[in-house]
Amino acid sequence: MADHPVIQVRALDNRFGSHIVHEKLDLDLYPREILGVVGGSGTGKSVLLRSIVGLNPPSGGHITVFGEDLTELSATERSRYEQRFGVLFQGGALFTSLNLEQNIALPLIEHARLSRAEAEELARMKLALTGLPPEAATKYPAELSGGMVKRAALARALALDPEILFLDEPTAGLDPIGAAAFDELIVTLRNALGLTVFLVTHDLDTLYTTCDRVAVLSQRRVLVADTLEKVAQTDDRWIQDYFHGPRGRAAITAHNRLTKQEPG
Ligand SMILES: Nc1ncnc2c1ncn2[C@@H]1O[C@H](COP(=O)(O)OP(=O)(O)OP(=O)(O)O)[C@@H](O)[C@H]1O
């Protein structure tokens, strides 16, 4: 790829006691790409995400974001960069005692120092951006479907106009139709806002419909990061089981049908 990476992870180590999760892990994230991060359970996908966004200080290595090594910055300096990140965690994590508009207004009041009225107006715009109807603004998370909560949590991740969006299993728990609609939303937002997206997922349909490249975590590092077609051909047991097992074959067939290609 011609562009310079917006994030470069080099020789990243992560250990919890004697448990080594990452060892000399390298990864690049390029501008405006949607990178899918996959791997078996416990391979450290979430830990990698948390290391990049500053929630899990790495045991070793370097993480360069927009040309600046975050591992060498003070906490205050790092938080300036971290404001350029939007993060959607597993489960959405909205405040249950606040309605959607108040949930999304919160980071705008705290970090962008807007008045409550301004923040709530902007919050309503962010909710519309993620496809929620205007009446959702005054609803509480408990009153909404799982798909609507995910959209609201995405609206909150987008509140401060981030350049890089981190999504941790965004379609987990959604029904297939809701998941497909959410995948489409991510691509639409990337195209409209020029976002770069780091997307941890187990969902093969998401990989086929949204991702430009796929990174596979295995054996404490990124085993391969490339287009889906190339990754699926990699000679590795987990990759072969994942992409060419029954679910993988179903996802390829569905994708080929959608793109009107002959099944491969
Ligand atoms: N704060 C922590 N303290 C100790 N161990 C941790 C901590 N965070 C993560 N781990 C361990 O690190 C390993 C990787 O965890 P992580 O959640 O990143 O896996 P994952 O690839 O996202 O898994 P899954 O697909 O199941 O969500 C796991 O064995 C987990 O128990």
- Minimum CA distance residue for ligand 1 atom 2: 16
User: What integer pLDDT is reported at residue 82 of this predicted model?
Assistant: 80
Atom index in ligand 1 nearest the CA of residue 14 equals 12
User: What integer pLDDT is reported at residue 161 of this predicted model?
Assistant: 94
Buried b or exposed e, range 179-203, using 16+ CB within 10 angstroms: bbbbbebbeebbeeeebbbbbbbbb
Backbone angles phi, psi at 9, to 5 degrees: -105, 125
- State whether the Cα torsion 153-172-21-68 is positive or negative: negative
- Minimum CA distance residue for ligand 1 atom 29: 42
Query: Hey, what are 172's tokens?
Result: 């987990």
Q: What is the DSSP letter of 139?
A: -
User: What integer pLDDT is reported at residue 264 of this predicted model?
Assistant: 44
Distance 115 CA to ligand 1 centre (A): 39
Contact between residue 212 and residue 36 where contact means Cβ atoms under 8 Å apart: no
Coil, helix or strand for 222? strand
- pLDDT averaged over 10-residue windows placed end to end, the chain, 264 residues: 86 96 98 96 95 92 91 84 88 87 93 90 95 95 91 94 95 89 95 96 91 96 95 91 78 72 50
- Minimum CA distance residue for ligand 1 atom 7: 16
ipTM of the complex: 0.97
- Which residue is associated with the tokens 């959604």? 174
Task: State the CB neighbour count (10 A cutoff) for residue 20.
Answer: 13
Residues 6+ apart with CB under 8 A from 257: 263
What are the structural domain ranges in the chain? 95-145+155-161
d(CA 9, CA 107): 27
Query: Hey, what are 16's tokens?
Result: 């919890």
Distance 206 CA to ligand 1 centre (A): 22
User: What integer pLDDT is reported at residue 1 of this predicted model?
Assistant: 53
Distance 89 CA to ligand 1 centre (A): 14
Residues 6+ apart with CB under 8 A from 256: 262, 263, 264
Coil, helix or strand for 99? coil
* Residues contacting ligand 1 via CB (< 6 Å): 16, 21, 39, 41-47
Of the candidates 255, 162, 242, the residue with the CA atom closest to the CA atom of residue 202: 242
